[in-house]
Amino acid sequence: MGTPYFDYHALAPVIVLAAVALLALVVDFVWKDGGRRAVPQIAGIGMLLALIPVFTLAADGETRVMFGGAFVVDNYALAFAGFFLIVGYVAVLLSYDYIDEGDYYRGEYYVLLLTSVLGMVVLASARDLITIFVAIETVTLPTFVLAGWRKHDIRSNEAAIKYFIIGVLSSAVMLYGMSLIFGLSNSTLLSEIGSVAGGDNPALFAVAIFLTLAGFAFKVSAVPFHFWAPDTYQGAPLPVTAFLSVASKAAGFVAMLSVVALGFFASPNSWQPVIWVLAAASIVVGNLAALRQTDVVRMLAYSSVAQGGFILVPLAVSGDNDAARAGFQGVLVYILIYAAMNMGAFACVIANARRTRSTEIQSFSGLGRSNPAMAVVFTVFLFSLAGIPPFAGWFAKFVMFRAVLDAGTTAAVVLGVLAAVFSVVAFFYYGTVIRRMWFHAAVDLGDTGSPRVPGALVAAMAITTTVVVVIGVYPQLFAKIGDLAFRAT
């Protein structure tokens, strides 16, 4: 046995993120006063720096395999790595003023954020169970702490504790499932698990898959594993909520997608029904619960549960080889679009909460008159979430329905009909907020904050709006990314 083969070019995004996280920690510690301003800049620039090797690797186009197939850098991995880094950058923008103005630790906040993004980038390339598990833990553990960052607010404490306990429980369930899979296939590599596919014990393999998927379902807050989401989203600091609802959720989906596509694919009877039920339940419960919310963060929490259901739809119908490509692409495209529109929606909620010190839906009343630009932007994101053209959301839904039609089975059609019906239900709750903004007079909420929208938030809104509008108008650009990502697999 010689030294293992290291491809430093392929590892560069991860190495850059780790170096930046350590640098941020040291700068915050050594340079007390200046560090306050410097650390967020370092974190933001670090995310963009890590994007450079992602682009050079993509330009190179070569699939790089390390450690016998445990760590693979291909188009699929690069698409998600780039996506996670951009989301991380937007999260830094969202956090900048919020963390600066509150009574928080700044340096540590960005170090944790960077570590979480590092976990995601590793996850995108991980092709064996141990690497996947470690990467998921690296994604979620810093977010447990971030959810409780408002130390003196009891709701934030509750958010962190709930998220922590459920997160640890789901990790344990997932790990137990993975250990059974290892016991059956004698390997942690997804490719070898796929070729053995349970061997002589399909029944136990199915149980193991069920436990593993249940663990992922907690992470993506799919019904019936969603109970933590609304409370955690509401209690956590708002930028952290945005990060949780997009990035850590997307990480769960990426893990699910890798494991299903490469490991479990050969035995669709054991994973397809599980994902079908998760998708259907998430769509129904998420949308119905979102209808009754009066707080915009709780509404977005349930809406993200429902959107999670929509993301699972293509995966739930991709069981046979003909449908698989369209299905996996559908998941990928939906995740990327969902991230842009949900991040953007949270940017607007954060800006509005600065203005009114409230996250009640009624606090949006009259926004169309007092700040028309922001009202327009928020309307764009809500339209997009509802799936109304010409904003990106319609393309995500289109790709989802195309996957359903490609599959064409009864189960797929039933799920497609459910998705269609509840997409219409979703209009109502997104519409409530839009109506409030444009057709209601402002409500006097007493203590009001500053009406100015800070530059970092404007930048975050600009990035996400651009993505949502450009993809909505010219989706071919985006479809190409989906095509490229699945050329290799």
Partner 1 sequence: MWEQQVAFWVIAVAMAGAAIGVVRANNVVHAALFLIVVFAGSAAQYILLLAEFVAWVQVLIYIGAIIVLFLFGVMLTRAPMREERGKLDNSQRLASAVVALFLFGVLAVFLIDAFGGTELRFRDSMVEVGSAASVGDSIFRQFVIPFEVVSMLLLAALVGAVALARRD
Does the protein bind partner 1 through residue 171 (CB under 8 A)? Answer: no
Does the protein bind partner 1 through residue 111 (CB under 8 A)? Answer: yes
55-74: contacts with partner 1 (CB under 8 A): 66-68, 70-71
Does the protein bind partner 1 through residue 273 (CB under 8 A)? Answer: no
Closer residue to partner 1, CB minimum distance, 131 or 170? 131
Does the protein bind partner 1 through residue 201 (CB under 8 A)? Answer: yes
Q: How far apart are CA 147 and CA 378, in angstroms?
A: 24
In this structure, what token pair is assigned to residue 387? 């799936």
10-39: contacts with partner 1 (CB under 8 A): 11, 14, 18, 21, 25
State the DSSP code for 261: I
Q: How far apart are CA 297 and CA 67, in angstroms?
A: 43
Does the protein bind partner 1 through residue 115 (CB under 8 A)? Answer: yes
Among 58, 169, 175, 207, binds partner 1 (CB under 8 A): 207
Phi and psi angles of residue 84, each rounded to the nearest 5 degrees, phi first: -65, -35
CB 175 within 8 A of CB 215: yes
Provide Rg for the chain, Cα atoms.
21
C-beta of 203: minimal distance to partner 1 in Å?
6
C-beta of 336: minimal distance to partner 1 in Å?
24
Q: How far apart are CA 386 and CA 394, in angstroms?
A: 8
Closer residue to partner 1, CB minimum distance, 167 or 309? 167
Closer residue to partner 1, CB minimum distance, 25 or 315? 25
Q: What's the CA angle centered on 94, arms 13 and 443, to 5 degrees?
A: 160
Among 122, 301, 326, 349, binds partner 1 (CB under 8 A): 122
Binding piece for partner 1, criterion CB under 8 A, among 40-48, 91-99, 100-108, 265-273: 100-108
Phi and psi angles of residue 103, each rounded to the nearest 5 degrees, phi first: -95, 75
130-149: contacts with partner 1 (CB under 8 A): 130-131, 133-135, 137-138, 141-142, 144-146, 148-149
Q: Cβ atoms within 10 A of the Cβ of 48, count?
A: 14
Q: How far apart are CA 178 and CA 273, in angstroms?
A: 19
Residue 316 neighbours by CB under 8 Å, 6+ apart: 272, 275, 276, 278, 279, 411, 412, 415
CA dihedral sign, ordered 465, 469, 472, 475: negative
Closer residue to partner 1, CB minimum distance, 148 or 286? 148
In this structure, what token pair is assigned to residue 433? 């907020």
Does the protein bind partner 1 through residue 112 (CB under 8 A)? Answer: yes
Phi and psi angles of residue 273, each rounded to the nearest 5 degrees, phi first: -60, -35
Binding mask 250-269 for partner 1 (x = CB under 8 A): --------------------
Point out which residues bind partner 1 (CB under 8 A): 1, 3-4, 11, 14, 18, 21, 25, 66-68, 70-71, 103, 105, 108, 111-112, 115-116, 118-119, 122, 130-131, 133-135, 137-138, 141-142, 144-146, 148-149, 151, 183-184, 201, 203-204, 207
